[in-house]
């Protein structure tokens, strides 16, 4: 059977609800682009933020913008591209979050060795390794899932192409190979998660020994945004793929997919900007500079237009 395209199912059949969903998704998407774009601009424009922590945050913002921008639909080739890009961005983001845990571990537990362990070259290599891991992971899954055309039709009961829904339409040979790949993915994911947990166990041990309450508060403030983002990222993805079949339903699957594919990229900038005083100060400075520039530009434009 030749499949020329995939049919993505709508959230609702009524026009009013469809318009409501359109407005909701568009608002979240624009908020995610704005929030992550502000982080990118802020980190890039101020030399005080050219540190490993903010370099990794810049990479995270790029990946968030990419992941939320891939959920569009789509032809057969477009569906393959969407699955590839989404896997690429999600995997690379998880690797960056793992590297960020290492950054915080070194900064708190080995501060005297921070410059040697996390120099500019080491940071670039770790970021490149995260992006490369995402690319390789996505290639492996795409090469397997789309090696054979679907055997069960082309109706995807989801608002974007994702592996569980595509597998429902795939042949048995694809299922078998994908199961082996998913076991490998699960091992790598578990390894990264264990590394993050062990890093924070060491961090909390050091923090709890600090004599100064102000020092403990400052250290916790540095770690809380990363912990919140990791918790949101891991909990939604784990629940999406490990939930019991007995509680599964089309509506619940839609809600969970929305939570792990759309919500984190929109929420992550808010989490980091709320806890980082440096980021907020630089952002206020940039906004003030932009407002002054606009104030001087408007009279010139009005004079030119004869207003």
Residue 11: the pLDDT is 60
Residue 295: the pLDDT is 56
Under CATH, which architecture does the 7-275 domain have? Up-down Bundle (1.20)
Residue 307: the pLDDT is 47
- Reported as a single tens digit per residue, the pLDDT across 119-171 is 888 999 999 999 999 999 999 988 888 876 777 666 666 677 777 777 777 77
Q: Taking Cα atoms as reference points, which of 275, 177, 167 lies closest to residue 220?
A: 275
Give the chain's residues under pLDDT 50.
1-4, 294, 298, 301-302, 304-307
Residue 298: the pLDDT is 46
Residue 221: the pLDDT is 79
Is 89 exposed, middle or buried, given 0-12, 13-18 or 19+ CB atoms closer than 10 A?
buried
Task: Show me where the domains of the chain are located.
Answer: 7-275
- Residues 102 and 98: their CA atoms lie apart, in Å, by 7
- Residues 53 and 39: their CA atoms lie apart, in Å, by 13
- Residues 55 and 118: their CA atoms lie apart, in Å, by 11
- Residues 134 and 58: their CA atoms lie apart, in Å, by 17
| Helix%, strand%, coil% for the chain, nearest 5 | 80, 0, 15
CB 138 within 8 A of CB 88: yes
Pairing state of beta strands 155-156 and 7-8?
parallel
249 to 43, 140, 256, 302: CA distances (angstroms): 42, 29, 11, 58
């Amino acid at each position: 059977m030749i499949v020329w395209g995939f049919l993505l199912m709508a959230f609702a059949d009524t026009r009013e609800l469809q318009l409501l969903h359109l407005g909701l998704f568009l608002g979240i998407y624009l908020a995610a682009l704005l929030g992550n774009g502000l982080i990118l601009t802020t980190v890039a424009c101020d030399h005080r933020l050219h540190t490993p922590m903010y370099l990794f945050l810049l990479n995270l913002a790029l990946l968030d913008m990419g992941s939320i921008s891939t959920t569009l639909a789509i032809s057969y080739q477009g569906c393959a591209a969407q699955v590839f890009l989404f896997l690429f961005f999600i995997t690379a983001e998880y690797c960056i979050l793992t590297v960020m845990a290492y950054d915080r571990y070194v900064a708190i537990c080995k501060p005297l060795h921070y410059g040697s362990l996390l120099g500019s070259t080491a940071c670039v290599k770790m970021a490149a390794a995260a992006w490369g891991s995402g690319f390789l992971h996505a290639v492996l899954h795409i090469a397997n899932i789309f090696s054979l055309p679907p055997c069960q039709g082309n109706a995807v009961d989801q608002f974007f192409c994702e592996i569980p829904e595509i597998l429902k339409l795939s042949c048995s040979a694809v299922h078998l190979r994908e199961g082996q790949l998913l076991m490998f993915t699960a091992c790598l994911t578990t390894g990264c998660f264990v590394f993050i947990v062990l890093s924070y166990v060491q961090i909390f041990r050091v923090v709890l020994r600090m004599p100064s309450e102000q020092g403990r508060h400052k250290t916790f403030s540095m770690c809380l945004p990363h912990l919140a983002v990791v918790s949101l990222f891991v909990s939604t993805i784990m629940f999406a793929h490990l939930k019991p079949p007995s509680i599964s339903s089309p509506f619940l699957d839609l809600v969970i997919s929305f939570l792990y594919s759309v919500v984190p990229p929109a929420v992550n900038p808010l989490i980091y900007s709320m806890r980082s005083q440096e980021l907020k100060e630089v952002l206020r400075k940039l906004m003030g500079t932009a407002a002054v520039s606009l104030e001087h530009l408007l009279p010139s434009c009005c004079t030119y237009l004869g207003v």
